[in-house]
A and B are shown apart, each in its own frame.
Chain A
Amino acid sequence: MFKSMVEAFKNLFKPVRTINYPAQEIILPSGYRGLIEYDKEACIFCDKCEKVCPPGAILFYQHEEGEKEYRYNPWLCIYCGECVRACPKPQEAIWQSETKQQSAVKEDGANEGWFVWEEACKKSREAYAAAKKERKPKMKSEEPLCVS
């Protein structure tokens, strides 16, 4: 009885083991897997990251002139880092930062907005492929003329 009283009294002055979260910040360990970041200048547009991404959080929008635009959904991403490992220029074109993604609000359009983008990217690819097909036969038919 006396022993447990002493123990209880001691516990009053022990430091608290939980974190008082919104008031006190959670310290993330170094090497925390956070957001995927991207540099357009270094990218060679090989689309490898898009192909390996398990949830499909990276998409490339195909412009008609042949340029590609990188699009990324941080709320769909599972932060596995597979895209970084697949990249031919890791740490330069695409890398994993230690920043934590905040929760999405309605204005971010984490779902609806992304569905629109997904659809647009798919259509832009198809349109580009169709345009390329149309252009190719013409080029071929022109070629023999040039040779002769």
Chain B
Amino acid sequence: MKKTIQIPLGSQHISLLEPIRFKFECENEKIIGVDADVGFVHRGVELACTRSFEFKQVGYVVARVCGLCAITHSLSYTLAVEKLLGYVANDRIKYLRMLMVELDRIHSHMLCLAHTAENAGFEALFMQIMGDRELVMEVQEAISGNRVQFDYISIGGVNRDLTSELVDLVRKNLTTLSEKMEILTGLFDNNWSLSLKYKGVGVLTLEDAYTYNALGPLARASGLATDVRAETSDFPYEALGYTMMLESTGDIHARNFVRLREIVNSIAICRNIVDNLPMGEIQEKVKGKPKGEEIVRIEAPRGELFYLVRGNGTNTLERVRIKTPTFSGIPAMMEVFKGSQYADAPAILASFDPCMSCTAK
């Protein structure tokens, strides 16, 4: 007689934001085997980038891979092409790009925290975090002119400048947000459903994190010191007060805390940027056609985003390879599910902050 039962989670499920299907092999309540199907929203972006669009347009195409981390996608692509064209951006452009990426990280982490709260049965906190997230969305909308698709970065610079009114708005909203973050950190630490319930659930050990190449907040919660912001020299992160946030327990609680502390760190970075914004042009002419191969890595909110761009000296690129954070995080995620309770699966999944439209591209 077969001793296990198969329970599917997805592709449509109340706790999921995007379509993904897990097939759990369960022994009573305990999960012993996992199988994942991730390709529900495959759109063929890589093919479109090399066939239908010219290299100057591709930046706007790859921005549509994902709604939450649109800015990191267009930034990594633009950096890769700029390196191929031999162009180095001035400090003002670098700072403005960093500002948008860090604002993006804040609101993406807040979305994830809101969902972990929701999956603990804490609807009111979900509403509250989503309400506070509007503070950051407002800033991004005012800077770039749109709420979700920023289209802020183009080859050779950024499309809009940061005026003094915008600087005031950034300062004002970030001050309000950092006050709220203190309350939120207290809640995640002391509230029964958020701290006790989440301690020791969904543990990824440090050894597993190394074996399965975990990345982003998932790895940092296990104590694996990896962050592309510290491993690349494209942006002056260290000079602007970046510190790596590490936890050691590797459970949902630790992941929440990595995110909370990263938000606080990102707020500090954003403040430093608007305080020390250098002068300079925001858009420069870049001439030439991309020839050669270039690899760019950027720390997206969920982990490392990787772009490989190869051009052959014409307007159309030869290859654009996109490797998104959730894509390479899936083996580690499947490992975490093994041995936990089926009832915890939605909460564990929400704590990974998976982005399926990134993964399936």
A binding-site residues for B, Cβ under 8 Å: 17, 29-33, 52-54, 78-82, 85
For residue A33, which residues in chain B have a CB less than 8 angstroms away from its CB?
Answer: 144-146, 151
Which residue of B is nearest A34, CB measured?
Answer: B145
Q: A80-B151, A85-B159 are in contact. Are A54 and B61 (CB under 8 A)?
A: yes
A29/B142 in contact, CB under 8 A: yes
A31–B60 touching, CB < 8 Å: no
Q: B141 touching A29 by the CB < 8 A rule?
A: yes
A54 touches B145 (CB 8 A): no
Q: Is the CB of B60 within 8 A of A52?
A: no
Q: Cβ of B53 and Cβ of A54 under 8 Å apart?
A: yes
* Measured CA separation A79–B151 after assembly (Å): 9
Bound-state Cα–Cα, A65 to B51, Å: 34
> Once the chains are docked, how many angstroms separate the CA of A52 from the CA of B57?
7
For the complex, is B160 an interface residue (Cβ under 8 Å from A)? yes
A contact patch SS: loop
CB distance from B15 to the nearest CB of A (A): 23
Q: Which residue of B lies closest to A96 (CB)?
A: B145
Contact of A81 with B60 in the complex, beta carbons under 8 Å? no
Q: How close is A49's CB to chain B, nearest CB, in angstroms? A: 13
Q: A54-B57, A54-B61 are in contact. Are A79 and B146 (CB under 8 A)?
A: yes
The 4 A-B residue pairs with the shortest CB-CB distance in the complex, in nearest-first order: A33-B145, A54-B57, A80-B151, A54-B60
Q: Which of A31, A52, A82 contacts B145 (CB 8 A)?
A: A31
Q: State A80–B151 Cα separation when bound (angstroms).
A: 6
B288 within 8 A of A: no
Q: Which residue in B134, B141, B151 is a CB contact (below 8 Å) of A78?
A: B151
User: Within B33-89, which residues are at the interface with A (CB < 8 Å)?
Assistant: 53, 56-57, 60-61
Contact residues in A for B60 (Cβ distance below 8 Å):
54, 78, 80, 82
Interfacial chain A residues near B283, Cβ < 8 Å: 85
Q: Are B151 and A81 in contact (CB under 8 A)?
A: yes
Tell me the complex Cα distance, A109–B146, Å.
26
Task: Knowing that A31-B145, A33-B151 touch, tell me 17 more A-B residue pairs with CB under 8 angstroms.
Answer: A17-B131, A29-B141, A29-B142, A29-B145, A31-B160, A32-B141, A33-B144, A33-B145, A52-B56, A52-B57, A53-B57, A54-B60, A79-B145, A80-B60, A80-B151, A80-B159, A82-B57
Determine the chain B residues whose CB is within 8 A of the CB of A81 once the complex forms.
151, 159
C-alpha spacing A32/B138, complex, angstroms = 12
A-B contact pairs, 29 of them (CB 8 A): A17-B131, A17-B134, A29-B141, A30-B142, A31-B142, A31-B145, A32-B141, A32-B145, A32-B146, A33-B145, A33-B146, A52-B56, A53-B57, A54-B57, A54-B60, A78-B60, A78-B149, A79-B146, A79-B151, A80-B60, A80-B159, A81-B151, A81-B159, A82-B57, A82-B60, A82-B154, A85-B154, A85-B159, A85-B283
Using CB atoms, name the residue of chain B closest to A31: B145
Q: Give the chain A neighbours of B138 by CB distance below 8 A.
A: 29
Rounded to whole angstroms, the CA-CA distance of A54 and B53 in the bound complex is: 7
CA distance A53 to B142 in the complex (A): 24
The residues of B that contact A30 with a CB separation of less than 8 Å are 142
Q: How far is the CB of A50 from chain B (nearest CB, A)?
A: 12
CB nearest to A53 among chain B residues: B57
Complex Cα spacing A52 to B53, Å: 10
The distance from the CB of A81 to the nearest CB of chain B, in whole angstroms, is 6
User: Which chain B residue lies CB-closest to A98?
Assistant: B145
Most A-side CB within 10 Å, residue of B131, B134, B159, B160 = B159
Q: Which residue of A lies closest to B58 (CB)?
A: A54
Among residues of A, the one whose C-beta sits closest to the C-beta of B160 is: A31
Contact digits for B128-148, partner A, Cβ 8 Å, 1 yes 0 no: 000100100010011011100
Distance, CA A85 to CA B60, complexed state (A): 14
- Return B95 CB to nearest CB of chain A, in Å: 20
**Closest chain B residue, CB of each to CB of A32:** B145
Instruction: Give the complex CA separation of A139 and B141 in angstroms.
Output: 57
